[in-house]
């Protein structure tokens, strides 16, 4: 099997480009003391990112805002959200979400 060196260099280059944004903040932030208010604020970043991703996925189709009655995913998210709030179970939430969407697509 022949080794194509440009492929090897592409893999090395993309590895470096992927590694730099992960390592530099870790090195910088490990040397400084972050204030307590900033740490509390940073705790909300993953939740905000997840909400933005899920919200966009539920409300938009093909770059356009979709109305509630034409959006099966948004309708299926209601029992899924209620299950998540009541049970705090990831497995239960996923199962309810899948079953809700399956039933809506089957009957509507």
- pLDDT tens for each residue of 49-108: 999 999 998 998 888 888 888 789 999 999 999 999 999 999 999 999 999 999 999 998
- pLDDT tens for each residue of 5-38: 999 999 999 999 999 999 998 898 888 998 999 9
Q: What is the DSSP letter of 43?
A: T
61 and 74 Cβ atoms separated by less than 8 Å: no
pTM of the full predicted structure? Answer: 0.62
75's CB contacts (< 8 A; 6+ apart) are 68, 100, 104
Identify the H or E element spanning 19: helix 5-31
């Amino acid at each position: 099997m022949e080794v194509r060196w440009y492929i090897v260099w592409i893999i090395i280059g993309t590895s470096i480009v992927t590694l730099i944004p992960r390592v530099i903040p870790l090195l910088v932030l490990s040397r400084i003391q972050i204030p307590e208010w900033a740490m509390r604020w940073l705790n909300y970043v993953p939740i905000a990112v997840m909400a933005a991703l899920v919200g966009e996925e539920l409300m938009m189709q093909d770059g356009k805002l979709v109305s509630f009655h034409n959006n099966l995913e948004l309708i299926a998210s209601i029992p899924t959200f209620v299950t998540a709030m009541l049970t705090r179970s990831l497995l239960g939430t996923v199962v309810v979400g899948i079953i809700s969407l399956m039933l809506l697509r089957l009957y509507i």
